[in-house]
Amino acid sequence: MNAPTLTDLDPSTPVLIGVGQASERSQDPGYQGLSPVELAAAAAHEALVDTGADLSALAAAIGTVAGVRQFEISTPGAPAPLGRSDNYPRSVARRIGAEPARAILEVAGGQGPQHLVNELAAAIADGREEVALIFGSEAISTVQHLARAEDRPDFTETVGGQLEDRGYGLKGLITREQQLHGLTDAPSQYALFENARRARLGLSRQEYATAIGELFAPFTEVASGNPHASAPTVRSPEELTTPTEKNRPIADPYTRYVVARDKVNQGAAVLLASVAAARRLGVPQDRWIFLHGHADLRERDLMDRADLGRSPAATEAVRHALEIAGVSVQDLATLDLYSCFPAPVFNICDAFGIGADDPRGLTLTGGLPFFGGAGNNYSMHAIAETVHRLRATPGTYGLVGANGGSMSKYSVGVYSTAPAPWRPDDSAVLQADLDALPAPARATHADGWATVETWTVTYRRDGSRTGIVIGRLDDGRRFLAQAVEGDSDLLNLLATGDPGGTRVYARSFGFGNRVALTDTRMEELHPTRPPAFRDAYEHILVQRDGHVLEVTINRPEARNSLTPEANAELDEVFDAYFADPDLWVAILTGAGDKSFSAGNDLKYSASGKPMWVPKNGFAGLTSRRDMNKPVIAAVNGLAMGGGCEIALACHLVVADESAQFALSEVKVGLVAGAGGLVRLPRAIPRKIATDMILTGRRIPAAEALDLGMVNRVTAPGKALEAARDLAADILDGSPTSVRLSLQIMSETEGISGTVDAASHPSPAIDELMVSEDMVEGIMAFATKRRPRWKNR
């Protein structure tokens, strides 16, 4: 079949008709300190000029503008020291005289530029769009350079107008588990991928460092000749990977020179149009570039990947884009492989047999560590460079691979001047296949012997180090952990040795999983604590009165809210309570008359200190599985958020008239994740529970009593006294019977059907049959005397 000619093309066929780049370095003459909007506008203007057509007509024809997010608007709460636009795409459009009907702000991720090209090209092919301008920019270097200046500029702009803000797109990229183990930064995550690959290939530390250096040294040569590069310095392989004062370790195996450089001032833009629009606007045909192949795929979440040293989604996206284009890797004249770290480049090279010394080169810009990792917008520069190369060698093909997240999202484009009809992709079908791949079983709490699957050591400027490990327990479950603090032998092995496959010992804590080289070393550093009471506590008061334990949260100045340390003390106390055979009932209350507990201490959370709760949950109760002795909540004042969840976790609740209950998490952007979302709908009518959960509505004590949340309501200030009376009523019965009754209730809670639940063969019945208390109870009844309970 003959190749199509320009006259054969459908008028709606999309073409790239203009590209532009802009940059400045603070140390260069003529430095202006341009804002992100100004850099993007300069690039956009350059893209219009690049078409060779009338600028005013082009600007008037733009129906859609799409902006790639800067770093300062890529995560919730990210600072913008010099201010920012409230509508970045329209701020840029206004500067080039465009008034588009539609403005898009894309999700975060380095895949964004290529994804937007793919998406808007499809919209043009479908007749939903005619001309679209895509751009992005970063002024991170300028912001850092001028933030403390007395005459610092103000980049704030209020534009308003329509904006399709697609959000941050961070779902699945950062998890609570990763946050708990210090795995939230990109270098640490990519270092894990790198070391998983090294372990799979069986390479030594030095061999892998050599491979990284040989991969990236040619990138530095390209960057040295690029006028837009932020670090245009040629470096040898050894220079790139040898730690020095300037090239300090970041996350093993990375030194500073081989990670993406974000201190940049760069912008780039791409102009798309239909063939009909390009002709109407007078764009010369020698400017046209066709998108021959394209694909957009997403990788499994980090801990769900079968092989942490590979990204099947990225390689499948490249394969599919080439398939659509009808060309092979060998047919490509140019490649630009996203290079925030070596791993994404290695991933594609491994899959397609491309060598680090491939004469075509693996980058057209110099790559993210040397050209500059321009936030999420790097690949816009790669597309621009690809367009220039293809125009210079008509009929050849170029590939751009754009990576986002933690090798999470990959978008690909195959470009050429050769005319080609629009060909839809099958990314959705391929994505379904990827999503169906089996994932390793997971262990949130890891305990026991394991092997190291991959690892890294992160380095701070003060020289301190943290070891991070992904391992497999002996039963095959994967877990995330940190090296236990104090195990220097393990940390040194992770930092200087070949730890892949090494046996380690894991133990879980409320603050996360930890690993040591041996169980003996773990025990030395974290001695097993037998359940016991201390003489004094910092955040709680503990009083023992016969068989009753009274625990008071003693933080009235903070509404008895809980920090990790307060939660740990409560967990320790309840461990001791449930282990002590002479304690039969516990009462939990809050100091003062204002609040039982406000749950999580939000001021503590806002301070940036690590937040964690014991494995047994808030107050050591909300996630505790074996609560086989009664706990009474004496609620005085507010039981808000986590405080309400604690009360719900208790077996019995006594409240004074002033008490109020609320799951108020939605009011502060949280959810009642400590059991409230489960327990409340089971404790009261579901509709009312849903009302409380979705609105944060406070329920007074009297209403809580009517709903069944509360057992008794007392006069103001009398909750603790009434709780003591309730405890006395419980103590009047057999503690063995009380304990085993709670056990049977717990065992049968999930059994549907009354008869099936009642017929459940509980071992508690067998225990009761041989207990002293059962004999004592029967004998006391027969002889008309008070029983003398033994709790055995």
Q: Are 654 and 745 within one domain?
A: no
- What is the per-residue pLDDT for 443? 97
Tell me which of 8-12, 102-106, 480-484 is least confident: 8-12
pLDDT in the model for residue 77 = 84
What is the pLDDT confidence band of residue 781, given thresholds at 50, 70 and 90? Answer: confident
Q: Can you give the pLDDT at residue 368?
A: 97
pTM of the model: 0.92
pLDDT of residue 668: 87
Instruction: Please give the average per-residue pLDDT across 9-20, as a whole number.
Output: 96
Kindly calculate the radius of gyration of the chain based on its CA atoms and give it in whole angstroms. Answer: 32
Kindly state whether residues 473 and 329 are assigned to the same domain: no
> How is 340-355 classified by DSSP, letter by letter?
SSHHHHHHHHHHHT--
* pLDDT value, residue 396: 98
C-alpha 515/C-alpha 507 separation (Å) is: 6
Query: Which among 420, 438, 470 is the end of a domain?
Result: 420
- For residue 314, give its domain range: 6-176+258-420
Residues 72 and 40 in one domain: yes
The mean pLDDT of 46-52, rounded to a whole number, is 98
**Residue reference for tokens 């997010």:** 69
Instruction: Tell me: do 209 and 69 sit in the same domain.
Output: no
133 and 182 share one domain: no
Helix, strand or coil for residue 408?
Answer: coil
Q: Is residue 435 part of a domain?
A: no
**Residue 392 maps to which CATH number?**
3.40.47.10
User: Average pLDDT, whole number, for the chain?
Assistant: 94
- Structural domain contains residue 432: no
pLDDT at 736: 79
In a domain, 441, yes or no: no
Arithmetic mean of pLDDT, 512-516 = 97
Structure confidence at residue 374 as a pLDDT band (50, 70, 90) = low
Cα atoms found within 13 Å of the Cα of residue 768, Cβ hemisphere only: 19
DSSP line for 481-543: EEEPTT-HHHHHHHHHS--TT-EEEEEEETTEEEEESSHHHHHHHS----S---S--SSEEEE
Tell me if 406 is assigned to some domain.
yes
Q: What is the pLDDT of residue 772?
A: 76
- Percent of the chain residues topping a pLDDT of 70: 99
CB 368 within 8 A of CB 140: no
Q: How confident is the model at residue 671 (pLDDT cuts 50, 70, 90)?
A: very high
Measured on CA atoms in the order 6, 12, 13, 19, is the torsion positive or negative?
Answer: positive
Span 241-253, average pLDDT: 96
Residues 373 and 470 in one domain: no
Q: For position 761, what pLDDT does the model report?
A: 85
Those residues whose C-beta lies under 8 Å from the C-beta of residue 80, and which sit 6 or more positions away, are: 72, 73, 143, 155
Do 565 and 613 belong to one domain?
A: yes
Q: Is 532 inside any structural domain? A: no
pLDDT digits (tens, 9 = 90+) for 538-570: 999 999 999 999 999 999 999 999 999 999 999
Asked whether residue 212 is domain-assigned, the answer is: yes
Q: Are residues 245 and 286 in the same domain?
A: no
Please state the rounded mean pLDDT for residues 349-361: 97
Answer with the one of 257, 282, 309 that is the final residue of a domain.
257
Same domain for 336 and 193: no
Question: CB neighbours (10 Å) of residue 479?
Answer: 27
Q: Are residues 504 and 481 in the same domain?
A: yes
Least confident of 227-231, 391-395, 729-733: 729-733
Strand 332-337 to 290-298 pairing: unpaired
Helix (H, G, I), strand (E, B) or coil at 224: helix
pLDDT at 483: 97
Span 123-174, pLDDT tens digits: 999 999 999 999 999 999 999 999 988 889 999 999 999 999 999 998 888 8
Return the pLDDT at 782: 87
Task: Specify the pLDDT at position 747.
Answer: 85
Whether 665 shows a pLDDT value over 70: the answer reads yes
Task: Confirm whether 474 is domain-assigned.
Answer: yes
User: What's the whole-number mean pLDDT along residues 12-38?
Assistant: 95
pLDDT given for residue 199 in this prediction: 96
The DSSP secondary-structure symbol of 625 reads S
Tokens of 378: 């790097």
| Same domain? 86 vs 136 | yes
| 726 in the same domain as 658 | yes
How confident is the model over 322-331, as a mean pLDDT? 98
Q: Is the pLDDT of residue 353 over 90?
A: yes
Q: Give the mean model confidence (pLDDT) for residues 404-427.
A: 97
Q: Of 160-174, 337-351, 450-464, 501-515, which gets the smallest average pLDDT?
A: 160-174
Among residues 257, 279, 307, the one where a domain terminates is 257
Residue 2 banded pLDDT, cuts 50, 70, 90: low
Whether 791 is in a domain gets the answer no
> In whole angstroms, what is the distance from residue 387 CA to residue 16 CA?
8
State pLDDT tens for residues 56-102.
999 999 999 999 999 999 988 888 999 999 999 999 999 999 999 99
Residues that are catalytic:
645, 665
Burial environment of residue 322 by CB neighbours within 10 A (0 to 12, 13 to 18, 19 or more) = buried
The C-alpha atoms of residue 553 and residue 540 are separated, in whole angstroms, by 5
Domain count, the chain: 5
DSSP letter assigned to residue 734: -
Which CATH number covers residue 513? 2.40.50.840
pLDDT score of 739: 85
CB 113 within 8 A of CB 70: no
**Who wins on pLDDT, 108 or 171?**
108
pLDDT over threshold 80, residue 3: no
What is the mean predicted confidence (pLDDT) over 631-638?
96
